[in-house]
A and B are shown apart, each in its own frame.
Chain A
């Protein structure tokens, strides 16, 4: 049974929690005291490893393992870079966390930097969130004045400087090597790997890049221990996860859930999304941000084997791409029967076309072709052969690019056709109706 334990958002509604004073009074910075005074860096790494926490940016790679890959050659600085570029459509949890409780991230940055031996760390925040950057800068100033940043923190001998870096508006900079390029003052073109950032990252130095939510979790792990964290969740999906919910639900917003919560409970319980808006039926869900495969309502609630689907890395991907999806960044977009899947897929394709950095031709050209063909179908000018053409283009992008943007562009198209092919066909056989405002074809058998 999933509990309603909150470890990131438990204090978020306390008035004044964005200030150092209130945050400190409510247990803030205790993890810094514990780590710097009573633990060695390796012991901090060990706790994070034990917690089993997986990267919350979308890839779900074990955070402790990522930390342990960091090269430590002597005489070369190491960097921790926090990825606050949050741009995955459907995802707004880091925005929520940073603007409401900025000191949680800063506390996490201090213990994480200490663990990795970094003395200058960066928080890269998408430029559109300039107001959040100002909130973070103010919080850093407060922490510095209180002796939690700067030289010789709490008399431990450990120095740390935190820098907040604004992006300039580019989805691709959420990809960690593109982010590092951007941080170096360049275009956000992802790098070829290897070398991985753990060996050659920022300024060619060993670097760890972690998501805002991941880093914000480390104070709790230090305070309570990695084993306690690992008790939360289900299987290899340990702990809690922030889910950003949008679309046709009664209560959109950011929710912290214990991993393992049944999807059905998450959608219909009044504690969470409160169900689909009145008088409507759930048609489809994109469960982990726009990049993950879209699923029809019946397959999001239950796996192909009829098991209840859970909010966890494993359960959401049960059935592979044939009948499953991914937890991704936790961007949960619910759509009712008024949603045109073709239009939504075209919209996402336009996004990826716009955001492709243009380095790899399969992505640069393929995303443009997909957008054009989807536009044709949506506007009643499609041919039956266009559907297979889309599948073909998507397949030729997938796996053939330097970074995962290519896959991210291909998966929504492939999955939309896999599960809603009749809707694409309807647009082609009913070109006049398809162009009418508000006209939508929904196969009623998949609605819930």
Chain B
């Protein structure tokens, strides 16, 4: 039996507030903010979670699937506790990103789109995070980590492993 998918009471209140932002006949505009909310609660978006979001917004499940699969921030498979999304785009690489990310992979012993055996870290390669001059960079949930070098990466990983 899988667990029942339902927003926490606090998030249900938030859902109501979000839906209220748009004209009454334009509820679907709330889809992206609510998918973020769902991912915040569950870590990723299962079909059951997406069906639940469709039910809340009174739209077809496929309208949720087609959106969730389009945008790269939504995880469609289970992920580790910390999802490290590192920028692989030109400017970050020019700022030394390739070597730094190699070190990151070595440190964690995994490649992109993989999760460490202890379930602590998932590594994802993403495109430009709009922090080019402060690169190389990655983000973990809402937190940006910038001006990365090998030493900084060691510190961050060790800190999050505690």
State in angstroms the CA–CA spacing of A86 and B90 once bound together: 16
Residue A244 interfacial (CB < 8 Å): yes
Q: Are A347 and B89 in contact (CB under 8 A)?
A: yes
Q: Which residues of A contact B28 (CB under 8 A)?
A: 184-186
Distance between Cα atoms of A254 and B144 in the complex (Å): 17
In angstroms, how far is the closest chain B Cβ from the Cβ of A388?
Answer: 24
Please state if A248 and B94 are interface contacts (CB–CB under 8 Å). Answer: yes
Please name 28 pairs of A and B residues whose Cβ atoms are closer than 8 Å in the assembled complex, sorted by A. A89-B128, A91-B130, A92-B134, A128-B85, A128-B129, A130-B36, A130-B141, A134-B142, A165-B33, A168-B74, A170-B71, A185-B28, A187-B66, A187-B70, A188-B70, A188-B71, A203-B23, A246-B91, A247-B91, A252-B132, A252-B134, A253-B134, A290-B90, A333-B91, A333-B94, A344-B94, A351-B128, A357-B70
B31 an interface residue at 8 Å Cβ cutoff?
yes
B71 proximity list for chain A (CB < 8 A): 127, 167-170, 188
Q: A203 touching B26 by the CB < 8 A rule?
A: yes
Q: Is the CB of B67 within 8 A of A169?
A: no
- Residues 196-229 of A at the B interface (beta carbon under 8 Å): 203
Q: Which residues of B contact A (CB under 8 A)?
A: 21-23, 26, 28-33, 35-36, 57, 63, 66-67, 70-74, 85, 88-91, 93-95, 126-135, 139, 141-144
Q: How many A-B residue pairs have CB under 8 A?
A: 144
Report chain B residues within 8 Å CB of A351.
89-90, 127-128
**Chain A residues within an 8 Å CB radius of B21:** 163
Which of A128, A129, A167 counts the most B-chain CB atoms under 10 A from its CB? A128
Which listed residue (A87, A247, A355) contacts B130, Cβ 8 A?
A87
Which B residues are in CB contact (< 8 Å) with A272? Answer: none
Q: Which of A125-149 contact B (CB under 8 A)?
A: 126-131, 134
Residues of B within 8 A of A347 (CB): 88-90, 93
Q: Are A92 and B72 in contact (CB under 8 A)?
A: no
Sample of 9 further A-B pairs with CB below 8 A, known A127-B73, A344-B90: A86-B130, A127-B32, A167-B71, A169-B73, A184-B28, A185-B57, A252-B95, A252-B132, A351-B127
Shortest CB-to-CB span from B59 to chain A, Å, is 8
Which residues on the B side are within 8 Å of A112 (C-beta)?
Answer: none
Q: Which residues of the other chain, A, contact B132 by a CB distance below 8 angstroms?
A: 89-92, 244, 246, 252, 331, 333
Chain B residue at smallest Cβ distance from A171: B127
Asked whether any CB of chain B lies closer than 8 Å to the CB of A368, the reply is no
A441: Cβ under 8 A from any B Cβ: no
Q: How far is the CB of A297 from chain B (nearest CB, A)?
A: 15
A335 on interface, CB distance cutoff 8 Å:
yes
**Distance from A82 Cβ to chain B, minimum over Cβ atoms (Å):** 15
How far, in Å, is B16 (CB) from chain A's closest CB? 15
Give the size category of A's interface with B.
35 or more
Contacts of B72 in A (CB 8 A): 168-170
List chain B residues, Cβ under 8 A from A168.
Answer: 32, 35-36, 67, 70-74
CB contacts (< 8 Å) of A131 on chain B: these are: 142-144
- Closest residue on chain B to residue A412 by CB atoms: B90
- Roughly how many angstroms separate A187 CA and B62 CA in the complex, as a whole number? 12
A128-B139, A168-B70, A333-B94 as given contacts; A184 in contact with B89, CB under 8 Å = no
Task: Please give, as numbers and ranges, the residues of chain A lying within 8 Å of B36 by CB-CB distance.
Answer: 127, 130, 166, 168
List CB contacts (< 8 Å) of A152-183 with chain B.
Answer: 163, 165-171, 182-183
Q: How far is the CA of A90 from the CA of B28 in the complex (A)?
A: 32
Q: Indicate if A339 sits at the interface (CB-CB under 8 A).
A: yes
Tell me the complex Cα distance, A226–B124, Å: 46
A103 within 8 A of B: no
A247 lies within 8 A of B95 (CB): yes
A204-B70 Cα distance, complex, nearest whole Å? 23
Query: Which 10 A-B pairs rank lowest in CB-CB distance, beginning with the nearest?
Result: A168-B71, A169-B73, A185-B28, A185-B31, A252-B133, A169-B72, A246-B132, A187-B70, A246-B133, A89-B128
Given A92-B134, A128-B139, A187-B66, check contact A166 B33 (CB 8 Å): yes
A313 CB within 8 Å of chain B: no
